[in-house]
Every structure is written in structure tokens, then in C-alpha cells.
């Protein structure tokens, strides 16, 4: 539990710093606010970076000539990230979104040297006076997708193309397992790790392998549409990741979990314009609109759609929690007792599989 | 009017050094045409790409930071390339260097000692050498193709790093994210220009280039390397031990790449992460040839190549040009260099072909 204590103390620090008022950047009325974005992938990945870029475009639409946006794509998560972030900070950007986990330490280093610039880091856990963090509760979307998958599978085997064994990805796998087994207790989840966020070749190979092993629904926590294309050509179902991927396989595409960053980006930009920005930690789900479901495939029976929609609305009004007890881990031990739900701390540090997931977490 | 290429009696020494410059100028011209077609102001774009990144002291420092691994690896590779020994796996040797250096830093976490950094760098050199020793052994013993063996080991090194970073080297307080903890202060390279990221590793790279130059021009080993590359039969007739040179050049280039890896993790990165290098080991091959396999040339080529990366960033930031521009510039540079190299062995003749100039030699290209 040491990790969770650490998390608690981190959160406390973040809250303390959040209350300190930020001195907004000295911004002349006529100059547009310069907002910079750093992307890990190409904006044409049709997944993660694509959706962040949609958020950037939403800013331009919302604020018109009050803002001026810049982006740098395909920035490696190493020595280069700090240079690029620093270059944005020194070239007059007042608000900088760094949209990949690997930018965490570079963002913090640059932020220290630029106390007047506001930084927003996606998916990280370290904050500072001028560094806020944000991420989506994508597991809420996985819950809905898991319910549909549990109903639609004929072979009772769901395949999952996974990137790296970090809590966020494991959380998604578990959310699918719990939801699918709640409507179909025979469901098993197979996981293949591809050690990449974006590698169409490897993602496609993983999908093919699992289909050969009897999987009839492909889910993914990687960013390319390659698994959807494989599912389409092999005649099985698939669930899209990050953006609506139905264009890559309209028959296979059951739905997709959409990361919708636009409302958050608009709100944070407005906060800088109004000089009300402070360092916060945001973890938004269906309710805030940060996570959305793509239109359901017409082949899904009406009662399954109704089930999915009930769950989605339940999550919004708080009556449904994707990690409601009783939850058992792979050994059958109860980790969340009946009548309780998993805490955010447990979700953020999740490093175990629940019952119904095949295999072991690579370690 | 006709343009002809006429074979030179002897390779032009002047052109050996002029062709990279011609390539740079042609790249600039072609780049400006490309910008024109894309609808941006060519002069402004070229300014954003080549001038703006180095218009501040910080920019110059970043340029040298970026060039450091390219110079180190490029100089190391150029020694082997001169002896026709093709180490294509510098990226893997760099990764091993980063792992070895990182393991030393993390094993002695929070130990304050002036010996820690040298130990990390030496560990990095050893790591790179070990990884290069595999193709060296296979080539010296079984005459295997070192291009293939060294390249294949790159992928093995990536998997090894991936295994370590999701397991033993992972930050215990990092929520299972695949990265190590941040190195403590005495495991981070000292900065040589206050307020920038320029670290002492750049001086190490320059020193290595000087040593390599001395070896090539002053030492018998350098002479042997050159002879074996240009005339292998003559070299064996003279009694040069080819196996010794295989081992030597692969170990030196592997060690240099390993050193570059250790410098990257202890310098600008400051921790072990799943992907240490954005392909320096491969880019350095271009750098070595662009620099004419000459240490001084490699330094200049490394800086030029680093500038194309920085230029790509600033072209995106100030001109909203796509990231692909960087790749296009690097590709054009290599393409024009290969094209200009034709001038080393041929000269351009203007005017119609005159009968008396037709010679039986078939190598003339018209």
C-alpha cells in the first residue's frame, strides 16, 4: 500500500500548490494568447495525437483571433522533448499542453525555468505551481464496450491488443473483463502486449494471432486503426480506440471509446485568458464529456444497445461504477468487497489482473 | 548545348571536400523550391529552418547537445568504414551503453562520489563494446556478414531495455510506469555553459574525434585501416592482421556508441527511459559519410545533421510546416551528396561531343 500513500501525499502537495494563486502571464489585450501543443505521434495517427489535435482545432474555433495555436508532432519522449517544450516556452507561448506520459519530467524541468508560463501535462502524476495534469477515465468507456462485447461474443473470448503494462492499460483490461463477465460469466480475455503505442504492423499481427486462437472481438489500447482493419477482413468484431475508427472497418466496428479533449482545452484556455488558471489534477469521464462513445454499430441488437446506454447514463448519474465490488483477482481473492467501489488510488496504481483475464502481467 | 560527364584520370581531391558543400547548397535550393510550391515564403522558411534555431545562445547549446551523440558515434563508425567493416548496429551498442551506465547510476543511487560519473561512462563503453564484440567474433571466426549481425542485435537490445525498464530498473514510486527514477545530482553530467543544457559530454566527443584523427594520420594502425579498406590484397601481402583490425574497429565504434548512450542518459535525459535514442545510431551512418569518414568532417556533419532536427522543430513552431519537412531535408541532403560524389571521379564538360574526344573507355556517362 506504500504506493497509495505516496499518491495521497502527492495529491496533498498538488492541492496545496493549487490553492496558491497563479500570477497570470503579462498579456497585452491586443496580442493573441499563444497556445502550444506537443504530440508524440503524427496528427494523422487517427488515434491519440489526432484527438489532441482536434482539441487544438476546437480552441481556434472557439476563441478565433484571441488565440494563436502551434503544434509540434512526433516529438520523441527523450532528450528532444525538453528542447521542444523549452522552445515553445521561450517563443511566447503562455499555455503549453504536453500530451504524452514521457513528457512528464521534461515538462517539469522547463516549467521551473518559466514560472509565468502555464503547463498542462496529460496522463502524468507529478504537478507543480504552474504544471497541471489531466487525463480521461477511459475505463468508463471500456465498461460500456465490455458489456457490448460480452453480449456479442460467440466464442466467449475477447482479444486485447495492449501497449505497455502500466496501470492505465491494466485498468482498461480489467474494466472490460468485469463488464463482459457481468453479462456473460464464461468470457475470457486474452492479452497481447506489443510494447508500442503506435505500430500498425505489430498491432495487426497481434490481432491476427488472437483471431487464429478463437477470439471474435478485438479490443485495443494502442493508437492505430490496424486492428480494426484486420477485424474487418477476418469478419470479427472490434472496438475502436481514442477516436471513431469506423471508417477503417464499418462492419467490424462495434463502437469506439472517444477521447474528447475539446471541452477541457477550451476551459483551460479560458481560465488563462480570465487569469483564473491554477494547477489542478483533472480526471474526466463521461460526465465531463472527456470520454464519449462512438455511434453503435447497427448490427448490435436493440436490447444490447439499451443495456449499454443504461450503463453509460448510470455512470454519469453515479448509480453505476465500473469497479463495483465484489471484484476478485486472478487467484480468486476478493480485492473489492461487495457494496464498495475501488478507490481512485487503487485505480491509479492498478497492477493486477481481475478474474477472467488470461496470462500474467509482464514484469 | 550538351552536358557531359568525363572521367577524370585521377579522383579529384578538391572535390572530395567540395561535394558536401555542393550538396548543402543544392539541398537549400531544392528546399526553397519545395517551400515555394507549398505556398510559404521560401526565404522565411529557410530562415526558420536553418538560422532561427541557432539565433540564441541557448539554441547553439541545444545544437551541440543534439550533435554530441552523432559526432561520437559517427567518428567511431568512420574508422571501421575506412577498413570496409560495416557496423550498422551502433543504435544497439548505444542502447547497451545507456543500460550499463544507467545500472551503475541506479545501483549507487544517492551515493555522492566524484568517481560515479566516470564509472558510469566506462560502464557505458564496456556495454557498447560487449554488444559489438558479438559481430566482431562472428566475423573474425566464421566470416559472417557483420552488417546483418550488428543490425539484428539492435532489436535484441531494444527488447532487453524494454524488459529491464518494466522490471528491475523501474522507479519503485512511479505507479508502474516504464521509466527509472531520476538520477541523483552526482550521476548527472556537469553543465559547461550556465543556463543551458550543454554538458561536458560534448567536450568528450571532441576529444574522441581528436584521438581518432591522431590514430588515423599518425599511427601505424590508422595506416593499416586505410590500406585494408583500399586494397585488401595488398594489406594481407604486407602481413597486416585483418582479424585484429576487425576486432579493433568494431570495439572502438561499439565503445563510442556505448559512451554516447551513457552520456545521453546521464546528460540531457537524466534517467533510463524505454526509448533512449531517436535513431542516433542510424543517423550517424549518414553523418560519417557526409563527413568524408574524417573526424573533423564528422564533427561538422554531426552539427549540420543536428541542425536539420532543430530546424524541423522551429519550422513547425514558427511556420506551421509539417514534421515531414525534417525527413525531406535529411533525405535530400544524402541524395545530393551521393549525386555530387560523381564529381570526384568525373568532370563536367559543356558543349557537343567532339569526335576526337571519344575514347574506348566505357565508364563515361553521357
Would you state the pLDDT for residue A19?
40
Measured distance CA(A159)–CA(A286) in Å, rounded: 24
Q: How confident is the model at residue A363 (pLDDT cuts 50, 70, 90)?
A: low
Would you state the pLDDT for residue B30?
93
Question: Is residue B358 domain-resident?
Answer: no
Question: Is residue B363 domain-resident?
Answer: no
| pLDDT (tens digit per residue) in B70-97 | 999 999 999 999 999 999 999 999 999 9
Q: Which residues of B270-290 are buried (b: 16+ CB within 10 A; e: fewer)?
A: bbbbbbbbbebbbbbbbbbbb
Q: Which long-range contacts (CB under 8 A, 24 or more apart) does B297-302 make?
A: B297/B17, B297/B20, B298/B71, B298/B74, B298/B75, B298/B78, B298/B209, B299/B67, B299/B71, B299/B75, B299/B205, B299/B206, B299/B209, B301/B20, B301/B70, B301/B74, B302/B67, B302/B68, B302/B70, B302/B71, B302/B74
Give the residue with greater pLDDT, B341 vs B192.
Answer: B192
Residues in A touching B58 (Cβ below 8 Å): 86, 90
| pLDDT (tens digit per residue) in B101-146 | 999 999 999 888 999 999 999 999 999 999 999 999 999 999 999 9
**Which of the residues A8, A71, A87, A281 would you substitute to probe the B interface, choosing the one with the greatest number of B C-beta atoms within 10 Å?**
A87
> Is residue B350 within a helix (H) or strand (E), and if so which, with residue range?
strand B346-350
| pLDDT (tens digit per residue) in A131-169 | 999 999 999 999 999 999 999 999 999 999 999 888 899
**Which of the residues A72, A79, A350, A363 would you substitute to probe the B interface, choosing the one with the greatest number of B C-beta atoms within 10 Å?**
A79
Bridge partners, A257 (sequence order): A241, A293
Task: Tell me if residue B283 falls in helix, strand or coil.
Answer: helix
- Per-residue pLDDT averaged across A273-280, rounded? 95
Let me know how many helices (H) and strands (E) chain B has, helices first. Answer: 14, 2
CA angle B312-A74-B193, nearest 5°?
55
Question: Is residue B315 domain-resident?
Answer: yes
Instruction: Out of A42, A78, A90, name the one closest to residue B277 (CB).
Output: A78
Dihedral sign for Cα A245, A246, A251, A254, please: positive
Distances (CA, A) of A261 to A46, A102, A265, B12, B161: 14, 19, 6, 60, 33
Measured distance CA(B189)–CA(B196) in Å, rounded: 13
Q: How confident is the model at residue A28 (pLDDT cuts 50, 70, 90)?
A: very low
Q: For chain B, what is the radius of gyration of the CA atoms?
A: 23
- Label residue B259 exposed, middle or buried (CB < 10 Å: 0-12, 13-18, 19+): buried
Nearest chain B CA: its distance from A117 CA (Å)? 17
CATH number of the structural domain spanning residue B235: 1.10.3470
Nearest chain B CA: its distance from A79 CA (Å)? 5
List CB contacts of B193: < 8 A, sequence separation 6 or more.
B57, B61
Q: Is the predicted pLDDT of residue A306 greater than 80, yes or no?
A: yes
Q: How confident is the model at residue A3 (pLDDT cuts 50, 70, 90)?
A: very low
Q: How confident is the model at residue A283 (pLDDT cuts 50, 70, 90)?
A: very high
Place of cell 470520454: A291
Place of cell 576486432: B247
Residues in A touching B162 (Cβ below 8 Å): 195
Are A166 and B178 an interchain contact pair (Cβ–Cβ within 8 Å)?
yes
Q: Is the predicted pLDDT of residue B354 greater than 90, yes or no?
A: no
Q: Is the predicted pLDDT of residue A342 greater than 60, yes or no?
A: yes
Q: Is the predicted pLDDT of residue B1 greater than 60, yes or no?
A: no
Measured distance CA(B213)–CA(B211) in Å, rounded: 5
Would you state the pLDDT for residue A189?
96
Give the residue with greater pLDDT, B358 vs B338.
Answer: B338
3-state SS track over chain A: CHHHHHHHHHHHHHHHHHHCCCCCCCCCCCCCEEEEEECCCCHHHCCHHHHHHHHHHHHHHHHHHHEEEEEECCCCCCHHHHHHHHHHHHCCCCEEEECCHHHHHHHHHHHHHCCCCEEEEECCCCCECCEEEEEECHHHHHHHHHHHHHHHCCCCEEEEEECCCCHHHHHHHHHHHHHHHHHCCCCEEEEEECCCCCCHHHHHHHHHHHHHCCCCEEEECCCCCHHHHHHHHHCCEEEEEECCCHHHCCCCEEEEEEECCHHHHHHHHHHHHCCCCCCCEEEECCCCCCEEECCCCCCCCHHHHHHHHHHHHHHHHCCCCCCECCEEECCCCEEECCCCECCHHHHHCCCCCECCECCCCCC
- Per-residue pLDDT averaged across A196-214, rounded? 94
Question: Is residue B89 domain-resident?
Answer: yes
- Smallest CA-to-CA distance from A176 within A360, A363, A354 is with A354
Residues in B touching A3 (Cβ below 8 Å): 173, 175
Q: For chain A, what is the radius of gyration of the CA atoms?
A: 21
Question: Is residue B10 domain-resident?
Answer: no
Instruction: Out of B166, B314, B320, name the one closest to residue A363 (CB).
Output: B166
| CB distance A321 to A340 below 8 Å | no
Would you state the pLDDT for residue B227?
87
Q: How confident is the model at residue A338 (pLDDT cuts 50, 70, 90)?
A: very high
Q: How confident is the model at residue A27 (pLDDT cuts 50, 70, 90)?
A: very low
Are B166 and A42 an interchain contact pair (Cβ–Cβ within 8 Å)?
no
Bridge partners, A293 (sequence order): A257
- Per-residue pLDDT averaged across B211-231, rounded? 90
Are A79 and B313 an interchain contact pair (Cβ–Cβ within 8 Å)?
no
Would you state the pLDDT for residue B255?
98
Would you state the pLDDT for residue B361?
53
Are A78 and B313 an interchain contact pair (Cβ–Cβ within 8 Å)?
no
Does residue A283 sit at the B interface (CB-CB below 8 Å)?
A: no
In this prediction the pTM is: 0.86
CA angle B278-B172-A189, nearest 5°?
80
**Dihedral through CA B251, CA B17, CA B70, CA B79, nearest 10?**
0
Quote the DSSP letter at residue B185. G
What is the side-by-side strand order in the sheet with A188-193?
Answer: A188-193, A157-162, A217-220, A237-242, A253-259, A291-293
Phi and psi at residue A261, in whole multiples of 5°? -85, -10
Measured distance CA(A254)–CA(A250) in Å, rounded: 8
Distances (CA, A) of B313 to A39, B309, B327: 12, 7, 12
Measured distance CA(A244)–CA(A249) in Å, rounded: 11
Would you state the pLDDT for residue A196?
84
Question: Is residue B93 domain-resident?
Answer: yes
- Label residue A235 exposed, middle or buried (CB < 10 Å: 0-12, 13-18, 19+): exposed
Phi and psi at residue B326, in whole multiples of 5°? -55, -50
Would you state the pLDDT for residue B166?
84
| pLDDT (tens digit per residue) in B271-313 | 999 999 999 999 999 899 889 899 999 999 999 999 999 999 9
Are A101 and B273 an interchain contact pair (Cβ–Cβ within 8 Å)?
no
Question: Is residue B6 domain-resident?
Answer: no
Q: How confident is the model at residue A24 (pLDDT cuts 50, 70, 90)?
A: very low
| CB distance A336 to A327 below 8 Å | yes
Residues in B touching A90 (Cβ below 8 Å): 56, 58
Neighbours of B268 (CB within 10 A): 25
| pLDDT (tens digit per residue) in A85-115 | 999 999 999 999 999 999 999 999 999 999 9
**Average pLDDT value over all residues in chain B:** 90
Measured distance CA(A28)–CA(A25) in Å, rounded: 9
The fraction of chain B above a pLDDT of 90, given in percent, is 59
Measured distance CA(A64)–CA(B366) in Å, rounded: 58
**Average pLDDT value over all residues in chain A:** 90
Residues in A touching B316 (Cβ below 8 Å): 70-73
Would you state the pLDDT for residue A21?
36
Are B317 and A76 an interchain contact pair (Cβ–Cβ within 8 Å)?
no
Does residue A92 sit at the B interface (CB-CB below 8 Å)?
A: no
List CB contacts of B211: < 8 A, sequence separation 6 or more.
none
Measured distance CA(B297)–CA(A101) in Å, rounded: 38
Nearest chain B CA: its distance from A84 CA (Å)? 7
Would you state the pLDDT for residue A334?
94
Does residue A47 sit at the B interface (CB-CB below 8 Å)?
A: no
**Which of the residues B317, B325, B326 would you substitute to probe the A interface, choosing the one with the greatest number of A C-beta atoms within 10 Å?**
B317
Are A102 and B167 an interchain contact pair (Cβ–Cβ within 8 Å)?
no
Neighbours of B31 (CB within 10 A): 21
- Label residue B363 exposed, middle or buried (CB < 10 Å: 0-12, 13-18, 19+): exposed
List CB contacts of B167: < 8 A, sequence separation 6 or more.
A363
| Cell numbers that stand for A154 in this block | 460467440
- Domain boundaries, position B197: 17-353
Measured distance CA(B199)–CA(B112) in Å, rounded: 19
Place of cell 518559466: A114
Phi and psi at residue B168, in whole multiples of 5°? -60, -35
Instruction: Out of B167, B273, B310, name the one closest to residue A102 (CB).
Output: B273
| CB distance A194 to A206 below 8 Å | yes
Question: Is residue B233 domain-resident?
Answer: yes
Among A117-121, A346-350, B220-224, B343-347, name the most confident range.
A117-121
Bridge partners, A96 (sequence order): A36, A119
Number of compact structural domains in chain B: 1
| CB distance A192 to A161 below 8 Å | yes
Measured distance CA(A305)–CA(A308) in Å, rounded: 5
Are B309 and A73 an interchain contact pair (Cβ–Cβ within 8 Å)?
no
- Per-residue pLDDT averaged across B238-260, rounded? 93
Would you state the pLDDT for residue A78?
87
Q: How confident is the model at residue B353 (pLDDT cuts 50, 70, 90)?
A: low
CB pairs under 8 A between A and B: 90
Are A105 and B268 an interchain contact pair (Cβ–Cβ within 8 Å)?
no
Q: How confident is the model at residue A276 (pLDDT cuts 50, 70, 90)?
A: very high
Amino acid at each position: 500500500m506504500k504506493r497509495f500513500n505516496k499518491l495521497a501525499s502527492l495529491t496533498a502537495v498538488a492541492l496545496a500548490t493549487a490553492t496558491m494563486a497563479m500570477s497570470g502571464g503579462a498579456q497585452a489585450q491586443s496580442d493573441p494568447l499563444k497556445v502550444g501543443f506537443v504530440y508524440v505521434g503524427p496528427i494523422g495517427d487517427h488515434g491519440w495525437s489526432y484527438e489532441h489535435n482536434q482539441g487544438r482545432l476546437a480552441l481556434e474555433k472557439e476563441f478565433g483571433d484571441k488565440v494563436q495555436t502551434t503544434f509540434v508532432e512526433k516529438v520523441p519522449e527523450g532528450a528532444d522533448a525538453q528542447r521542444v517544450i523549452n522552445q515553445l516556452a521561450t517563443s511566447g507561448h503562455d499555455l503549453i499542453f504536453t500530451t504524452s506520459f514521457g513528457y512528464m519530467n521534461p515538462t517539469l524541468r522547463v516549467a521551473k525555468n518559466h514560472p509565468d508560463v502555464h503547463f498542462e501535462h496529460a496522463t502524468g502524476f507529478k504537478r507543480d505551481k504552474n504544471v497541471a495534469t489531466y487525463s480521461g477515465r477511459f475505463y468508463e468507456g471500456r465498461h460500456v464496450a465490455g458489456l457490448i462485447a460480452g453480449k456479442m461474443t460467440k466464442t466467449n473470448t475477447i482479444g486485447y491488443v495492449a501497449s505497455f503494462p502500466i496501470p492505465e492499460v491494466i485498468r482498461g483490461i480489467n474494466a472490460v473483463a468485469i463488464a463482459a463477465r457481468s453479462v456473460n460469466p464464461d468470457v475470457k480475455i486474452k492479452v497481447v502486449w506489443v510494447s508500442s503505442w503506435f505500430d500498425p504492423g505489430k498491432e495487426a499481427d497481434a490481432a491476427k494471432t488472437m483471431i487464429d486462437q478463437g477470439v471474435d472481438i478485438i479490443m485495443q489500447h494502442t493508437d492505430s486503426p490496424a486492428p480494426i482493419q484486420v477485424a474487418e477482413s477476418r469478419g470479427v468484431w472490434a472496438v475502436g480506440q481514442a477516436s471513431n475508427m469506423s471508417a477503417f472497418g464499418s462492419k467490424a466496428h462495434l463502437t469506439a471509446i472517444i477521447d474528447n479533449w475539446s471541452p477541457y482545452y477550451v476551459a483551460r484556455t479560458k481560465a488563462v485568458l480570465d487569469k483564473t488558471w491554477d494547477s489542478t489534477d483533472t480526471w474526466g469521464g463521461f460526465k465531463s464529456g472527456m470520454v464519449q462513445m462512438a455511434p453503435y454499430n447497427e448490427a448490435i441488437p436493440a436490447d444490447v444497445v439499451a443495456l449499454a446506454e443504461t450503463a453509460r447514463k448510470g455512470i454519469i448519474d453515479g448509480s453505476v461504477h465500473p469497479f463495483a465490488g465484489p471484484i476478485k483477482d486472478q487467484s480468486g481473492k476478493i480485492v473489492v468487497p461487495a457494496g464498495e467501489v475501488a478507490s481512485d488510488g487503487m485505480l491509479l496504481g492498478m497492477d493486477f489482473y481481475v478474474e477472467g483475464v488470461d496470462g500474467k502481467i509482464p514484469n | 548545348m550538351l552536358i557531359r560527364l568525363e572521367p577524370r584520370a585521377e579522383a579529384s581531391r578538391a572535390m572530395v571536400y567540395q561535394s558536401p558543400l555542393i550538396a548543402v547548397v543544392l539541398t537549400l535550393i531544392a528546399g526553397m523550391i519545395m517551400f515555394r510550391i507549398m505556398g510559404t515564403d521560401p526565404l522565411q522558411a529557410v530562415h526558420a529552418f536553418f538560422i532561427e534555431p541557432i539565433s540564441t545562445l541557448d539554441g547553439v547549446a541545444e545544437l551541440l547537445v543534439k550533435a554530441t551523440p552523432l559526432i561520437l558515434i559517427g567518428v567511431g563508425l568512420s574508422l571501421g568504414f575506412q577498413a570496409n567493416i560495416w557496423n550498422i548496429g551502433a543504435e544497439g551498442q548505444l542502447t547497451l551503453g545507456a543500460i550499463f551506465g544507467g545500472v551503475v547510476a541506479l545501483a549507487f543511487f544517492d551515493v555522492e562520489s566524484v568517481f560515479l560519473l566516470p564509472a558510469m561512462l566506462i560502464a557505458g563503453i564496456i556495454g557498447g563494446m560487449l554488444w559489438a564484440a558479438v559481430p566482431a567474433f562472428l566475423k573474425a571466426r566464421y566470416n559472417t556478414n557483420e552488417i546483418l549481425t550488428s543490425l539484428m542485435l539492435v532489436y535484441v537490445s531494444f527488447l532487453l531495455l524494454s524488459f529491464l525498464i518494466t522490471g528491475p530498473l523501474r522507479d519503485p514510486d512511479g505507479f508502474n510506469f516504464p521509466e527509472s527514477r531520476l538520477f541523483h545530482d552526482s550521476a548527472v553530467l556537469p553543465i559547461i555553459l550556465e543556463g543551458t543544457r550543454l554538458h561536458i559530454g560534448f567536450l568528450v566527443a571532441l576529444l574522441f574525434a581528436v584521438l581518432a584523427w591522431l590514430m588515423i594520420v599518425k599511427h601505424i594502425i590508422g595506416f593499416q585501416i586505410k590500406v585494408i579498406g583500399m586494397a585488401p590484397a595488398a594489406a594481407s601481402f604486407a602481413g597486416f592482421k585483418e582479424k585484429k583490425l576487425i576486432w579493433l574497429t568494431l570495439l572502438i565504434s561499439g565503445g563510442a556508441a556505448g559512451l554516447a548512450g551513457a552520456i545521453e542518459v546521464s546528460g540531457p535525459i537524466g534517467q533510463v527511459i524505454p526509448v533512449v535514442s531517436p535513431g542516433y545510431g542510424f543517423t550517424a551512418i549518414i553523418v560519417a559519410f557526409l563527413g568524408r569518414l574524417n573526424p573533423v568532417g564528422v564533427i561538422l556533419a554531426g552539427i549540420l545533421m543536428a541542425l536539420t532536427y532543430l530546424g524541423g522543430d522551429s519550422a513547425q513552431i514558427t511556420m506551421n510546416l509539417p514534421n515531414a519537412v525534417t525527413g525531406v531535408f535529411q533525405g535530400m541532403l544524402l541524395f545530393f551528396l551521393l549525386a555530387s560524389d560523381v564529381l570526384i571521379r568525373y568532370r563536367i564538360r559543356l558543349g557537343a561531343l567532339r569526335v576526337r574526344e571519344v575514347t574506348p573507355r566505357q565508364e563515361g556517362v553521357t
